[in-house]
């Protein structure tokens, strides 16, 4: 199968990027959760294998804020 190159842009300063698992060569990390599922197609039904959140979970927001603080402090 021919592999196509993947372009990632970090222009808008997000802490994450969307990547399709099929684009990762080799063993992909295990899926931990699905976030912002409110934007998915209304007809799509997500499996129950991991937690799904319609918005961003509080724990994720807290972790991102903690990481940002550590970056500002140079740690």
pLDDT at 62: 92
Closest C-alpha among 27, 17, 16, 20 to residue 4: 20
CB-side exposure of 43: number of CA atoms within 13 Å?
Answer: 0
d(CA 20, CA 23): 6
User: Is the confidence at residue 39, as pLDDT, over 60?
Assistant: yes
In a domain, 47, yes or no: yes
If one counts the domains in the chain, the total is: 1
Domain residue limits at 55: 21-72
User: Is the confidence at residue 25, as pLDDT, over 70?
Assistant: yes
Q: 7 or 44: which carries more pLDDT confidence?
A: 44
- Long-range contacts, stretch 13-21, CB < 8 angstroms, 24+ apart: 15/64, 15/67, 15/68
Q: How far is it between the farthest Cα atoms of the chain?
A: 46
Confidence of residue 66 (pLDDT cuts 50, 70, 90): very high
In a domain, 6, yes or no: no
């Amino acid at each position: 199968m021919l592999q196509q190159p993947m372009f990632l842009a970090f222009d808008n300063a997000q802490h994450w990027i969307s990547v399709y698992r099929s684009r990762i060569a080799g063993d992909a990390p295990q899926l931990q959760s699905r976030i912002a599922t409110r934007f998915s197609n209304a007809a799509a039904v997500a499996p129950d294998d991991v937690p799904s959140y319609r918005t961003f979970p509080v724990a994720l927001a807290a972790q991102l804020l903690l990481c940002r603080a550590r970056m500002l402090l140079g740690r």
